[in-house]
Structure 1
Amino acid sequence: MSKKSIAIDGPSGAGKSTLARQIAKALGFLYVDTGAIYRTLALAALRRGIDPANSADVLEVLHGIKIDLGYGADGLQHMYLDGADVTEEIRTPAVSAGASAVSAIPAVRTFLMDMQRDLAASRDVVMDGRDIGTVVLPGADVKIFLTATAEERARRRYEELLLRGTEVDYETVLRDIVARDERDTSRTAAPLRQAEDAVAVDTTGKSQEESLDLLLNLIRRQLAQ
Protein backbone atom coordinates (compact mmCIF):
# COMPACT_ATOMS: atom_id res chain seq x y z
CA MET A 1 0.00 0.00 0.00
CA SER A 2 1.51 3.33 -1.04
CA LYS A 3 2.27 5.89 1.63
CA LYS A 4 0.46 9.21 1.78
CA SER A 5 2.39 12.47 1.77
CA ILE A 6 1.33 16.02 2.56
CA ALA A 7 3.64 18.85 1.49
CA ILE A 8 3.36 22.20 3.22
CA ASP A 9 5.51 24.99 1.80
CA GLY A 10 5.65 28.70 2.52
CA PRO A 11 7.79 31.58 3.72
CA SER A 12 9.50 31.89 7.09
CA GLY A 13 7.15 32.49 10.01
CA ALA A 14 3.98 31.36 8.22
CA GLY A 15 3.27 28.79 10.94
CA LYS A 16 4.23 25.77 8.86
CA SER A 17 5.99 23.84 11.62
CA THR A 18 3.33 24.31 14.29
CA LEU A 19 0.42 23.55 11.97
CA ALA A 20 2.16 20.67 10.20
CA ARG A 21 2.95 19.06 13.55
CA GLN A 22 -0.68 19.39 14.66
CA ILE A 23 -1.95 18.05 11.32
CA ALA A 24 0.34 15.03 11.57
CA LYS A 25 -0.89 14.29 15.08
CA ALA A 26 -4.54 14.58 14.02
CA LEU A 27 -4.03 12.24 11.05
CA GLY A 28 -1.61 9.81 12.68
CA PHE A 29 1.15 10.73 10.20
CA LEU A 30 4.85 11.31 10.83
CA TYR A 31 5.83 14.98 10.99
CA VAL A 32 9.08 16.01 9.29
CA ASP A 33 10.40 19.54 9.77
CA THR A 34 12.91 19.79 6.92
CA GLY A 35 13.96 23.31 7.90
CA ALA A 36 15.36 21.90 11.15
CA ILE A 37 17.80 19.79 9.14
CA TYR A 38 19.22 22.89 7.44
CA ARG A 39 19.24 24.75 10.75
CA THR A 40 21.35 21.99 12.27
CA LEU A 41 23.91 22.28 9.49
CA ALA A 42 23.94 26.07 9.90
CA LEU A 43 24.59 25.65 13.61
CA ALA A 44 27.50 23.33 12.87
CA ALA A 45 29.01 25.92 10.51
CA LEU A 46 28.53 28.80 12.93
CA ARG A 47 30.11 26.83 15.77
CA ARG A 48 33.20 26.46 13.59
CA GLY A 49 33.30 30.14 12.68
CA ILE A 50 32.36 29.37 9.07
CA ASP A 51 30.27 31.68 6.90
CA PRO A 52 27.07 29.69 6.10
CA ALA A 53 27.13 31.19 2.60
CA ASN A 54 30.60 29.77 1.82
CA SER A 55 29.69 26.66 -0.18
CA ALA A 56 33.10 24.98 -0.11
CA ASP A 57 33.52 25.32 3.66
CA VAL A 58 29.90 24.34 4.38
CA LEU A 59 30.21 21.18 2.28
CA GLU A 60 33.38 20.27 4.16
CA VAL A 61 31.46 20.67 7.43
CA LEU A 62 28.53 18.62 6.09
CA HIS A 63 30.76 15.68 5.23
CA GLY A 64 32.45 15.81 8.64
CA ILE A 65 29.41 15.82 10.92
CA LYS A 66 26.51 13.53 11.75
CA ILE A 67 22.97 14.91 11.59
CA ASP A 68 20.19 12.74 12.98
CA LEU A 69 16.45 13.19 13.31
CA GLY A 70 14.52 11.51 16.09
CA TYR A 71 11.31 11.67 18.07
CA GLY A 72 11.21 12.06 21.83
CA ALA A 73 8.69 10.86 24.40
CA ASP A 74 6.88 14.16 23.78
CA GLY A 75 6.23 13.03 20.21
CA LEU A 76 8.10 16.03 18.83
CA GLN A 77 10.90 15.98 16.29
CA HIS A 78 14.33 16.42 17.83
CA MET A 79 17.52 17.25 15.93
CA TYR A 80 20.87 15.78 16.89
CA LEU A 81 24.29 17.08 15.89
CA ASP A 82 27.08 14.57 16.46
CA GLY A 83 24.89 12.84 19.03
CA ALA A 84 23.89 15.96 21.00
CA ASP A 85 20.29 17.24 21.06
CA VAL A 86 20.32 20.75 19.53
CA THR A 87 16.55 21.13 19.11
CA GLU A 88 16.36 24.36 21.12
CA GLU A 89 19.70 25.79 20.01
CA ILE A 90 18.76 25.81 16.31
CA ARG A 91 15.86 28.25 16.88
CA THR A 92 17.90 31.44 17.36
CA PRO A 93 17.81 34.34 14.84
CA ALA A 94 21.47 33.77 13.92
CA VAL A 95 20.84 30.13 13.07
CA SER A 96 17.69 31.08 11.12
CA ALA A 97 19.74 33.41 8.92
CA GLY A 98 22.43 30.75 8.54
CA ALA A 99 19.86 28.14 7.53
CA SER A 100 18.64 30.38 4.73
CA ALA A 101 22.22 30.70 3.49
CA VAL A 102 23.17 27.00 3.60
CA SER A 103 19.87 25.98 1.99
CA ALA A 104 20.76 28.11 -1.04
CA ILE A 105 23.77 25.87 -1.78
CA PRO A 106 22.73 23.35 -4.48
CA ALA A 107 25.09 20.60 -3.32
CA VAL A 108 23.72 20.83 0.22
CA ARG A 109 20.13 20.43 -0.97
CA THR A 110 21.07 17.43 -3.10
CA PHE A 111 22.94 15.79 -0.23
CA LEU A 112 20.06 16.18 2.23
CA MET A 113 17.22 15.36 -0.17
CA ASP A 114 17.70 11.59 0.10
CA MET A 115 17.14 11.76 3.86
CA GLN A 116 13.82 13.52 3.33
CA ARG A 117 12.62 11.23 0.53
CA ASP A 118 13.52 8.08 2.48
CA LEU A 119 11.28 9.21 5.33
CA ALA A 120 8.38 9.82 2.92
CA ALA A 121 8.85 6.43 1.27
CA SER A 122 8.61 4.53 4.55
CA ARG A 123 5.81 6.35 6.37
CA ASP A 124 2.73 8.51 5.87
CA VAL A 125 4.21 11.98 6.34
CA VAL A 126 3.43 15.63 6.73
CA MET A 127 6.53 17.46 5.55
CA ASP A 128 7.07 21.21 5.64
CA GLY A 129 9.72 23.42 4.12
CA ARG A 130 10.41 25.73 1.19
CA ASP A 131 10.49 23.31 -1.74
CA ILE A 132 8.68 20.16 -0.62
CA GLY A 133 5.87 20.30 -3.18
CA THR A 134 8.09 21.54 -6.00
CA VAL A 135 11.31 19.53 -5.55
CA VAL A 136 11.46 17.08 -2.64
CA LEU A 137 8.01 15.47 -3.02
CA PRO A 138 6.60 16.68 -6.35
CA GLY A 139 4.14 13.78 -6.32
CA ALA A 140 2.73 14.53 -2.86
CA ASP A 141 -0.93 13.63 -2.40
CA VAL A 142 -1.74 17.07 -0.98
CA LYS A 143 0.20 20.29 -1.52
CA ILE A 144 -0.40 23.44 0.48
CA PHE A 145 1.31 26.81 0.16
CA LEU A 146 0.90 28.47 3.56
CA THR A 147 1.48 32.19 3.90
CA ALA A 148 0.64 35.38 5.79
CA THR A 149 1.73 39.00 5.50
CA ALA A 150 5.32 39.82 6.48
CA GLU A 151 4.03 41.92 9.37
CA GLU A 152 1.90 39.07 10.70
CA ARG A 153 4.73 36.59 10.39
CA ALA A 154 7.15 38.97 12.11
CA ARG A 155 4.72 39.45 15.01
CA ARG A 156 4.39 35.70 15.49
CA ARG A 157 8.15 35.14 15.36
CA TYR A 158 8.75 38.07 17.72
CA GLU A 159 6.34 36.65 20.30
CA GLU A 160 7.85 33.17 19.91
CA LEU A 161 11.37 34.47 20.53
CA LEU A 162 10.28 36.43 23.59
CA LEU A 163 8.70 33.30 25.05
CA ARG A 164 12.04 31.54 24.58
CA GLY A 165 13.80 34.31 26.47
CA THR A 166 15.53 35.78 23.40
CA GLU A 167 15.94 39.58 23.56
CA VAL A 168 14.74 41.02 20.25
CA ASP A 169 12.74 43.96 18.95
CA TYR A 170 9.88 43.71 16.46
CA GLU A 171 11.44 45.92 13.76
CA THR A 172 14.58 43.77 13.68
CA VAL A 173 12.50 40.61 13.36
CA LEU A 174 10.47 42.19 10.53
CA ARG A 175 13.63 43.19 8.65
CA ASP A 176 14.97 39.64 9.04
CA ILE A 177 11.70 38.17 7.72
CA VAL A 178 11.71 40.44 4.66
CA ALA A 179 15.40 39.72 3.99
CA ARG A 180 14.85 35.98 4.27
CA ASP A 181 11.89 36.15 1.89
CA GLU A 182 14.15 37.83 -0.64
CA ARG A 183 16.90 35.22 -0.23
CA ASP A 184 14.50 32.28 -0.38
CA THR A 185 12.61 33.46 -3.47
CA SER A 186 15.67 34.60 -5.44
CA ARG A 187 18.08 31.73 -4.83
CA THR A 188 18.96 29.59 -7.84
CA ALA A 189 18.66 26.26 -6.01
CA ALA A 190 15.00 25.31 -5.47
CA PRO A 191 13.66 28.82 -4.80
CA LEU A 192 10.57 29.29 -2.66
CA ARG A 193 7.52 29.26 -4.92
CA GLN A 194 4.03 27.86 -4.96
CA ALA A 195 3.67 24.57 -6.83
CA GLU A 196 1.17 24.79 -9.68
CA ASP A 197 -1.07 22.20 -8.05
CA ALA A 198 -0.75 23.54 -4.49
CA VAL A 199 -3.62 25.19 -2.64
CA ALA A 200 -2.70 28.63 -1.29
CA VAL A 201 -3.84 29.30 2.28
CA ASP A 202 -3.38 32.75 3.81
CA THR A 203 -3.60 32.67 7.63
CA THR A 204 -3.34 36.43 8.18
CA GLY A 205 -5.76 37.38 10.94
CA LYS A 206 -6.66 33.76 11.71
CA SER A 207 -6.08 32.09 15.05
CA GLN A 208 -4.05 28.89 15.23
CA GLU A 209 -7.25 26.91 15.84
CA GLU A 210 -9.00 28.48 12.84
CA SER A 211 -6.02 27.78 10.60
CA LEU A 212 -5.79 24.17 11.79
CA ASP A 213 -9.49 23.51 11.17
CA LEU A 214 -9.24 25.05 7.70
CA LEU A 215 -6.22 22.95 6.75
CA LEU A 216 -7.55 19.67 8.16
CA ASN A 217 -10.83 20.05 6.28
CA LEU A 218 -8.94 20.82 3.06
CA ILE A 219 -6.55 17.87 3.49
CA ARG A 220 -9.25 15.37 4.36
CA ARG A 221 -11.26 16.36 1.30
CA GLN A 222 -8.27 15.93 -0.99
CA LEU A 223 -7.17 12.61 0.53
CA ALA A 224 -10.70 11.28 0.06
CA GLN A 225 -10.70 12.00 -3.67
Structure 2
Amino acid sequence: MAPSPFIIVAIDGGAASGKSSSSRTLSERFNLLHVDTGSFYRAVTAELLRRGAPATDLAAVKTVLADLKLGTRLNGRSAMMEIGGRVVPDAEIRSLDVNTWVATYSAIPEVRAALLDYQRGQANTARQHGFRGLVMEGRDIGSKIFPDADLRFFLFADPNERARRRQQQGFQDQVAKRDTIDSQRLNESLRGATVIDSTFLTLEQVVEQMAAAVAAKLGEAPAHR
Protein backbone atom coordinates (compact mmCIF):
# COMPACT_ATOMS: atom_id res chain seq x y z
CA MET A 1 0.00 0.00 0.00
CA ALA A 2 1.39 3.39 -1.02
CA PRO A 3 2.30 5.71 1.86
CA SER A 4 0.00 8.63 2.54
CA PRO A 5 1.21 11.81 0.83
CA PHE A 6 2.49 14.78 2.83
CA ILE A 7 0.13 17.69 2.18
CA ILE A 8 0.20 21.42 2.77
CA VAL A 9 -3.09 23.20 3.45
CA ALA A 10 -3.13 27.01 3.30
CA ILE A 11 -5.97 28.92 4.96
CA ASP A 12 -6.20 32.67 4.36
CA GLY A 13 -8.92 35.17 5.15
CA GLY A 14 -9.89 38.27 7.07
CA ALA A 15 -9.80 38.79 10.82
CA ALA A 16 -12.31 36.58 12.68
CA SER A 17 -13.35 34.75 9.51
CA GLY A 18 -12.79 31.34 11.13
CA LYS A 19 -9.21 30.57 10.11
CA SER A 20 -7.95 29.56 13.54
CA SER A 21 -10.86 27.39 14.63
CA SER A 22 -11.09 25.53 11.34
CA SER A 23 -7.34 24.98 10.98
CA ARG A 24 -7.05 23.63 14.54
CA THR A 25 -9.91 21.23 13.89
CA LEU A 26 -8.31 19.99 10.66
CA SER A 27 -5.03 19.56 12.51
CA GLU A 28 -6.67 17.29 15.08
CA ARG A 29 -8.70 15.31 12.59
CA PHE A 30 -5.89 14.55 10.13
CA ASN A 31 -2.74 14.80 12.31
CA LEU A 32 -1.43 17.90 10.57
CA LEU A 33 0.98 20.34 12.18
CA HIS A 34 -1.00 23.51 12.93
CA VAL A 35 0.77 26.80 12.30
CA ASP A 36 -0.87 30.09 13.20
CA THR A 37 1.26 32.70 11.44
CA GLY A 38 -0.77 35.45 13.08
CA SER A 39 0.76 34.41 16.40
CA PHE A 40 4.21 34.70 14.79
CA TYR A 41 3.54 38.30 13.76
CA ARG A 42 2.11 39.03 17.19
CA ALA A 43 5.23 37.63 18.86
CA VAL A 44 7.50 39.72 16.64
CA THR A 45 5.32 42.79 17.24
CA ALA A 46 5.64 42.25 21.00
CA GLU A 47 9.41 41.97 20.62
CA LEU A 48 9.66 45.12 18.50
CA LEU A 49 7.60 47.04 21.05
CA ARG A 50 9.66 45.62 23.91
CA ARG A 51 12.87 46.77 22.25
CA GLY A 52 11.51 50.23 21.53
CA ALA A 53 11.42 50.00 17.73
CA PRO A 54 8.35 52.01 16.61
CA ALA A 55 6.69 51.09 13.33
CA THR A 56 7.48 54.59 12.04
CA ASP A 57 11.25 54.04 12.46
CA LEU A 58 12.20 51.56 9.74
CA ALA A 59 15.89 51.63 10.62
CA ALA A 60 15.13 50.62 14.21
CA VAL A 61 12.74 47.90 13.04
CA LYS A 62 15.36 46.46 10.66
CA THR A 63 17.98 46.47 13.41
CA VAL A 64 15.75 44.38 15.68
CA LEU A 65 14.76 42.05 12.84
CA ALA A 66 18.41 41.36 12.01
CA ASP A 67 19.00 40.34 15.63
CA LEU A 68 16.04 37.97 16.01
CA LYS A 69 16.95 34.38 16.80
CA LEU A 70 13.89 32.38 15.84
CA GLY A 71 13.12 28.79 16.74
CA THR A 72 10.10 26.49 16.96
CA ARG A 73 8.67 24.63 19.93
CA LEU A 74 5.81 22.18 19.58
CA ASN A 75 2.81 22.34 21.85
CA GLY A 76 0.82 19.25 20.96
CA ARG A 77 0.06 19.64 17.26
CA SER A 78 0.78 23.38 17.20
CA ALA A 79 4.03 25.15 16.33
CA MET A 80 5.02 27.95 18.70
CA MET A 81 7.59 30.60 17.78
CA GLU A 82 10.60 31.01 20.03
CA ILE A 83 12.47 34.30 20.10
CA GLY A 84 15.86 33.88 21.70
CA GLY A 85 14.72 30.55 23.13
CA ARG A 86 11.60 32.07 24.72
CA VAL A 87 8.00 31.52 23.70
CA VAL A 88 6.19 34.84 24.08
CA PRO A 89 3.24 34.19 26.45
CA ASP A 90 -0.26 34.30 24.98
CA ALA A 91 -1.23 37.08 27.40
CA GLU A 92 1.54 39.20 25.92
CA ILE A 93 0.78 38.60 22.26
CA ARG A 94 -2.92 39.29 22.93
CA SER A 95 -2.24 42.50 24.86
CA LEU A 96 -3.90 45.78 23.92
CA ASP A 97 -0.61 47.22 22.63
CA VAL A 98 -0.01 44.25 20.34
CA ASN A 99 -3.65 44.29 19.17
CA THR A 100 -3.22 47.97 18.31
CA TRP A 101 0.06 47.64 16.41
CA VAL A 102 0.23 44.15 14.91
CA ALA A 103 -1.54 45.09 11.67
CA THR A 104 0.80 48.05 11.15
CA TYR A 105 3.99 46.09 11.80
CA SER A 106 2.76 43.14 9.72
CA ALA A 107 2.23 45.42 6.72
CA ILE A 108 5.91 46.45 6.69
CA PRO A 109 7.57 44.55 3.79
CA GLU A 110 10.79 44.06 5.75
CA VAL A 111 8.89 42.36 8.58
CA ARG A 112 7.14 39.99 6.18
CA ALA A 113 10.42 39.25 4.38
CA ALA A 114 12.15 38.48 7.67
CA LEU A 115 9.58 35.77 8.46
CA LEU A 116 9.28 34.25 4.98
CA ASP A 117 11.88 31.48 5.27
CA TYR A 118 10.94 30.77 8.88
CA GLN A 119 7.33 30.16 7.89
CA ARG A 120 8.28 27.97 4.95
CA GLY A 121 10.54 26.00 7.26
CA GLN A 122 7.51 24.80 9.23
CA ALA A 123 6.94 22.18 6.51
CA ASN A 124 10.27 20.57 7.42
CA THR A 125 9.32 20.74 11.10
CA ALA A 126 6.10 18.86 10.31
CA ARG A 127 7.98 16.18 8.35
CA GLN A 128 10.63 15.75 11.04
CA HIS A 129 8.00 15.15 13.72
CA GLY A 130 5.97 12.62 11.75
CA PHE A 131 2.93 14.73 10.86
CA ARG A 132 0.92 13.84 7.77
CA GLY A 133 1.11 17.41 6.61
CA LEU A 134 0.91 21.05 7.53
CA VAL A 135 -2.11 23.31 7.92
CA MET A 136 -1.01 26.94 7.99
CA GLU A 137 -3.34 29.86 8.63
CA GLY A 138 -2.79 33.54 8.03
CA ARG A 139 -2.29 36.21 5.45
CA ASP A 140 -0.44 35.51 2.19
CA ILE A 141 -0.09 31.78 2.96
CA GLY A 142 -1.43 30.55 -0.36
CA SER A 143 -0.14 33.45 -2.44
CA LYS A 144 3.39 34.00 -1.10
CA ILE A 145 4.41 31.47 1.56
CA PHE A 146 3.18 28.29 -0.12
CA PRO A 147 1.85 29.24 -3.58
CA ASP A 148 2.07 25.55 -4.56
CA ALA A 149 0.12 24.32 -1.52
CA ASP A 150 -1.94 21.21 -2.16
CA LEU A 151 -5.08 22.99 -0.94
CA ARG A 152 -5.78 26.71 -0.65
CA PHE A 153 -8.82 28.09 1.15
CA PHE A 154 -9.91 31.69 1.63
CA LEU A 155 -12.48 32.42 4.34
CA PHE A 156 -14.49 35.59 4.58
CA ALA A 157 -17.52 36.84 6.45
CA ASP A 158 -19.52 40.01 6.85
CA PRO A 159 -17.43 42.66 8.72
CA ASN A 160 -20.14 43.21 11.35
CA GLU A 161 -20.32 39.48 12.05
CA ARG A 162 -16.53 39.28 12.36
CA ALA A 163 -16.46 42.24 14.76
CA ARG A 164 -19.15 40.52 16.83
CA ARG A 165 -17.10 37.32 16.96
CA ARG A 166 -14.02 39.21 18.14
CA GLN A 167 -15.97 40.91 20.91
CA GLN A 168 -17.51 37.60 21.93
CA GLN A 169 -14.01 36.11 22.18
CA GLY A 170 -12.93 38.99 24.40
CA PHE A 171 -10.47 40.45 21.87
CA GLN A 172 -10.18 44.06 20.79
CA ASP A 173 -8.72 43.59 17.30
CA GLN A 174 -9.29 46.45 14.89
CA VAL A 175 -11.17 44.52 12.22
CA ALA A 176 -11.89 47.53 9.97
CA LYS A 177 -8.25 48.66 10.04
CA ARG A 178 -7.02 45.19 9.19
CA ASP A 179 -9.55 44.93 6.36
CA THR A 180 -8.20 48.16 4.85
CA ILE A 181 -4.67 46.75 4.87
CA ASP A 182 -5.88 43.38 3.56
CA SER A 183 -7.67 44.99 0.61
CA GLN A 184 -4.30 45.71 -0.99
CA ARG A 185 -3.54 41.98 -1.31
CA LEU A 186 -7.02 40.56 -1.86
CA ASN A 187 -6.91 39.73 -5.58
CA GLU A 188 -3.65 37.80 -5.29
CA SER A 189 -4.84 35.89 -2.23
CA LEU A 190 -8.11 34.87 -3.89
CA ARG A 191 -6.53 33.65 -7.11
CA GLY A 192 -6.78 29.86 -7.27
CA ALA A 193 -8.23 29.51 -3.77
CA THR A 194 -11.47 27.84 -2.73
CA VAL A 195 -13.57 30.65 -1.25
CA ILE A 196 -15.88 29.94 1.69
CA ASP A 197 -18.30 32.52 3.09
CA SER A 198 -18.58 31.68 6.79
CA THR A 199 -21.04 34.44 7.71
CA PHE A 200 -24.01 32.11 8.15
CA LEU A 201 -22.16 28.81 8.58
CA THR A 202 -21.31 26.99 11.76
CA LEU A 203 -17.71 25.98 12.41
CA GLU A 204 -18.69 22.37 11.71
CA GLN A 205 -20.09 23.30 8.30
CA VAL A 206 -16.94 25.21 7.35
CA VAL A 207 -14.70 22.37 8.50
CA GLU A 208 -16.68 19.72 6.64
CA GLN A 209 -16.16 21.56 3.35
CA MET A 210 -12.42 21.67 3.96
CA ALA A 211 -12.19 18.17 5.42
CA ALA A 212 -13.70 16.57 2.33
CA ALA A 213 -10.94 18.11 0.20
CA VAL A 214 -8.20 17.17 2.68
CA ALA A 215 -9.44 13.57 2.88
CA ALA A 216 -9.42 13.31 -0.91
CA LYS A 217 -5.82 14.54 -1.06
CA LEU A 218 -4.82 12.00 1.58
CA GLY A 219 -6.65 9.24 -0.26
CA GLU A 220 -9.25 8.77 2.47
CA ALA A 221 -13.01 8.61 2.49
CA PRO A 222 -14.37 11.73 4.23
CA ALA A 223 -15.56 11.08 7.77
CA HIS A 224 -18.78 12.95 8.48
CA ARG A 225 -19.14 14.16 12.06
TM over 0.5: yes
Q: What residue in structure 2 maps to residue 81 of structure 1?
A: 83
- Mapping 1:119-138, distance limit 5 Å: 119-121=122-124, 123=127, 124-138=133-147
Gaps spanning 5+ residues in structure 2: where? Answer: 128-132, 221-225
Amino acid in the other structure paired with 2:38: G
- Is the contact between residue 7 and residue 144 of structure 1 (CA under 8 Å) also seen in structure 2? yes
- Is the contact between residue 42 and residue 52 of structure 1 (CA under 8 Å) also seen in structure 2? no
Whole-angstrom distance in 1 between the partners of 2:120 and 2:46: 23
Structure 1 length-normalised TM = 0.82
Is the aligned partner of 1:7 residue 2:10?
A: yes
- Mapping 1:164-203, distance limit 5 Å: 176-186=174-184, 191-193=185-187, 194-203=189-198
May I ask how many residue pairs the two structures share in their alignment?
Answer: 209
> Cα–Cα, structure 1 residues 132 and 82, in superposed 2: closer, same or farther, change >3 Å?
same
Q: Which has the higher mean CA deviation after the structures are superposed, 23-32 or 136-145?
A: 23-32
- Residue 84 of structure 1 deviates from its aligned partner by 3.0
Structure 2 length-normalised TM = 0.82
- Mapping 1:140-219, distance limit 5 Å: 140-161=149-170, 176-186=174-184, 191-193=185-187, 194-219=189-214
Amino acid in the other structure paired with 2:194: V
Whole-angstrom distance in 2 between the partners of 1:96 and 1:19: 22
Q: What residue in structure 2 maps to residue 220 of structure 1?
A: 215
- Is the contact between residue 70 and residue 83 of structure 2 (CA under 8 Å) also seen in structure 1? yes
Can you list the C-alpha shifts for 1:156-212, whole angstroms capped at 9, x where unaligned? 1111126xxxxx6xxxx5xx20111102323xxxx3443321000011122222222
Amino acid in the other structure paired with 1:145: F
- Residue 220 of structure 1 deviates from its aligned partner by 2.6
Whole-angstrom distance in 1 between the partners of 2:63 and 2:183: 26
Identity of aligned residues (%): 34
Q: What residue in structure 2 maps to residue 103 of structure 1?
A: 106
> Cα–Cα, structure 1 residues 27 and 121, in superposed 2: closer, same or farther, change >3 Å?
same
- Residue 224 of structure 1 deviates from its aligned partner by 4.7
- Is the contact between residue 52 and residue 99 of structure 1 (CA under 8 Å) also seen in structure 2? no
- Is the contact between residue 40 and residue 79 of structure 1 (CA under 8 Å) also seen in structure 2? yes
Can you list the C-alpha shifts for 1:27-53, whole angstroms capped at 9, x where unaligned? 111111111111111101122333234
Whole-angstrom distance in 1 between the partners of 2:182 and 2:18: 16
Gaps spanning 5+ residues in structure 1: where? Answer: 163-167
Whole-angstrom distance in 1 between the partners of 2:69 and 2:27: 26
Q: What residue in structure 2 maps to residue 165 of structure 1?
A: none
SS of 1:135's equivalent?
helix
Whole-angstrom distance in 2 between the partners of 1:62 and 1:19: 31
> Cα–Cα, structure 1 residues 77 and 161, in superposed 2: closer, same or farther, change >3 Å?
farther
- Is the contact between residue 33 and residue 77 of structure 2 (CA under 8 Å) also seen in structure 1? no
SS of 2:81's equivalent?
strand
Amino acid in the other structure paired with 2:113: T
- Is the contact between residue 52 and residue 58 of structure 1 (CA under 8 Å) also seen in structure 2? yes
Question: What RMSD in Å do the two structures reach over aligned CA positions?
Answer: 2.3
> Cα–Cα, structure 1 residues 70 and 144, in superposed 2: closer, same or farther, change >3 Å?
same
Whole-angstrom distance in 2 between the partners of 1:4 and 1:147: 23
Is the aligned partner of 1:22 residue 2:20?
A: no
Q: What residue in structure 1 maps to residue 223 of structure 2?
A: none
Whole-angstrom distance in 1 between the partners of 2:74 and 2:124: 18
> Cα–Cα, structure 1 residues 53 and 177, in superposed 2: closer, same or farther, change >3 Å?
farther
